[in-house]
Amino acid sequence: MAKSDPAANEAKRGYLIRGAFFPASALPPGLYVVATPIGNLSDVTLRALDTLAGADLVACEDTRVTRRLLDRYGISAKVTSYHEHSGEGAHRRLLDALAEGKTVALVSDAGTPLLSDPGAALVADGAAAGHRVVPIPGASAIAATLSAAGLSTDAFLFVGFPPTKSSARRKRFETFTSVPATLVFFESPNRVAAFLADACAIFGGERRVTLCREVTKIHETFDRGTLAELAARYADASVKGEVVIIIAPPEPRDAVEIDVDAALRDALQTMGVKEAAQSVAGLTGLSRRDLYARALTLKGGG
């Protein structure tokens, strides 16, 4: 692919698409929150390229990751590192640049910034200081996976990354057992098996789930089934790549036809009282506290 002349590009900022040079538009001063591809670099929007090429400064999580995108399109932008460990100094330098009337483009390593990525503080402080904040929409792992998961999108809740330890993760899951919305989680590939096992215990094995991996990349996969099925399938599996796990909402209570006592007795055969109550709560949407009390009675022979 042809490369742009850095000197010429400084005088006339722009970007390359298949060897053709396109001059960047002049940008009013402000903070531009720019969505970048989540995998396939061809998913970048023309407006994003125009913004990245025209910005005075591009703030990014990892300059090496962002540089690959910029190099692909012949953009010779000035980049600076800005992530959760950058410290107050980096934060202040970007606010100072905005105060000087410069254009700052904020990007994450992939997808739309501020969704499980740093940047919220910069947007909040920039807006509070009176600077223009402009969203440049584009790729999002949330929207992409929901569109192909095959689960309800009438209402959904983005939960992000759950806690890494099982006990904390289960407590987090308990918060959402009765939420009438599809749940969207990000997860490390190394914790997929543990995630599914805990989700199965808390939400109930019959909940529908879709595991989305490497979306927009060469090895893109969508694995669909119940939590019980996927928990068994991935119990000893090695998973690689970026993972999004989408769990369906609970069935409406009036649509659930289940003998609660029978479900509790069945669960108590392999679980403790607390776990049995959690499992049936996830299956029925009923109160975990009430189910716990009933499970204690059944355990005692009542």
Decide if pLDDT at 3 tops 50: no
Tens of pLDDT, residues 256-265: 457 888 888 8
Domains and CATH numbers, the chain: 6-139 (3.40.1010.10), 142-250 (3.30.950.10), 254-299 (no CATH)
Cα–Cα distances in angstroms (integers) from residue 33 to residues 42, 114, 130, 182, in the given order: 19, 9, 16, 26
CA-to-CA distance for 187 and 241, rounded, in angstroms? 10
Sign of CA dihedral 121, 124, 128, 134: positive
Q: Give the 3-state secondary structure of residue 57.
A: strand
CB 246 within 8 A of CB 212: yes
Please give the average per-residue pLDDT across 245-260, as a whole number.
75
CA-to-CA distance for 75 and 13, rounded, in angstroms? 8
Other CB atoms within 10 A of residue 71 CB? 14
Tens of pLDDT, residues 33-63: 999 999 999 999 999 999 999 999 999 999 9
CB 90 within 8 A of CB 81: yes
Which tokens is 129 given?
A: 């200081």
Cα–Cα distances in angstroms (integers) from residue 155 to residues 56, 199, 202, 247, in the given order: 39, 20, 21, 12
Mean of the per-residue pLDDT values of the chain: 90
Q: How confident is the model at residue 274 (pLDDT cuts 50, 70, 90)?
A: confident
Tens of pLDDT, residues 63-88: 999 999 999 999 999 999 998 777 78
**Model's pTM, two decimal places?**
0.78
CA-to-CA distance for 107 and 55, rounded, in angstroms? 12
Tens of pLDDT, residues 124-171: 999 999 999 999 999 999 999 999 999 999 999 999 999 999 999 999
Cα–Cα distances in angstroms (integers) from residue 242 to residues 54, 134, 220, 286, in the given order: 30, 28, 10, 34
